Structure 1
């Protein structure tokens, strides 16, 4: 894998450790809905996947596209919605990391994405977990909800997916990170007069590291926690889930 990888956030590093273990062998076509600034997209392209990202926030899409180009990697980033992107379909994997919670009608959105996936293709999503944990940061970044695991399974089953599975992650570091984010939101973000759409658009730009040194520090600092969370698939403040299109 290329060493010229964009830095992940602390939470992003925990998430990527789970996500990468669910991906099929490289060489398949991957669509990432809501690719943000491309930290995951560059990793997918560097690992040999045929990568396409879609991002509705123009500033984030431009960063993601520049990061792919700067790493000398194939792949593309399309600014816009899935509906406006003009995608041909036939993808082997459809990813949506921290996206569904931003959508007023998550079931309708998921149903509209699935025709882009080939039969037998994998859907892989991540969301914040446990509605009872909904807090100031959820409001500040435009979340409509969080997901209890049974709710997520029902959402995927209702879309017609099979071979549904999931696991929680983020134990124990994720709890501390959420507490800090909620405190920041209470003081600076939650009541700043923005609309839900504006909060959603900026969500992919918050807490984003930019330097290689910061990325290296995140990698080093999260290593023990990435290892530790593997032992707690039923505990954590965040969720990764998957299913297959019949």
Structure 2
């Protein structure tokens, strides 16, 4: 099966997410909700792993791409265009994912409070965000981020939401630092002063820097391999964060 291409940073992130999913050992057919699924590169991978997949995406253009990718791969699953609150989803999911979403929300605690009741008791949460508020830069502003997360702040957020067994790790060492430097330079020149609102920047964020072809995706897969291996040795270092917890 041909999987949708990942961005450079997405490839680093997926390596950590995939390994965390292995640790969770969810059974085949486990139900997964991805909030803010973007163009579906991760969603297709989750569906291909045998999970019952539901993606929710506010941006209509991205939601259409994600839905088409699932259908094109002939995988079960669905993508709903809208918010979690407007989607009227049934509760009982085994896993809730939100990759690069919380930093876009002014009320991150309120969003978690709305999402978490969709989990079954004992269900898992897996989120990713940019790390370290001191690293907030032009790209964060350009794509509609309200903040970045120091690990203690993320732990406090998940603890405050009522999750147990909260944990996390940093990732992206060393390639992520170079990627952020390039993105900040691009943002200074082209993205940060275009007159758009924070909401509009958030909507377009999932469409930025997306690989344009399978060939580019294959190059990303090969080119990031040594960095994906290297970052495994530095769970306490990196410009990005993955965190998890359990809904009691």
What's the TM-score, normalizing by structure 2?
0.98
Cα separation, 1, equivalents of 2:89 and 2:211:
30
Aligned residues: 244
Aligned residue in 1 for 2:180: 178
Deviation at 1:27, TM superposition (A): 2.1
Would you say 1:96 and 2:104 are equivalent positions? no
Deviation at 1:119, TM superposition (A): 0.5
On the 8 A contact 1:6/1:210 being kept in 2, the answer is: no
Query: Which ranges of structure 2 fall in alignment gaps of 5 or more residues?
Result: none
Cα separation, 2, equivalents of 1:148 and 1:225:
23
Aligned residue in 1 for 2:142: 140
Q: Secondary structure at the match of 2:87?
A: coil
Aligned residue in 2 for 1:13: 11
Cα separation, 2, equivalents of 1:215 and 1:115:
36
Deviation at 1:242, TM superposition (A): 0.1
On the 8 A contact 1:29/1:91 being kept in 2, the answer is: yes
Cα separation, 1, equivalents of 2:3 and 2:242:
22
Cα separation, 2, equivalents of 1:68 and 1:27:
16
On the 8 A contact 1:38/1:65 being kept in 2, the answer is: yes
Deviation at 1:210, TM superposition (A): 2.8
Cα separation, 1, equivalents of 2:6 and 2:212:
9
**Cα deviation per residue 1:30-79 (whole Å; 9 max; x = unaligned)?**
00000000000000001100000000000000000000000010000000
Deviation at 1:132, TM superposition (A): 0.1
Aligned residue in 1 for 2:154: 152
Q: Secondary structure at the match of 2:32?
A: strand
Cα separation, 1, equivalents of 2:212 and 2:43:
15
On the 8 A contact 1:44/1:51 being kept in 2, the answer is: yes
Aligned residue in 1 for 2:228: 226
Q: Secondary structure at the match of 1:150?
A: helix
Cα separation, 2, equivalents of 1:43 and 1:215:
14
Q: Secondary structure at the match of 1:20?
A: helix
Q: State the Cα RMSD in Å.
A: 0.6
Aligned residue in 2 for 1:84: 86
Aligned residue in 2 for 1:108: 110
What's the TM-score, normalizing by structure 1?
0.98
Cα separation, 2, equivalents of 1:127 and 1:217:
25
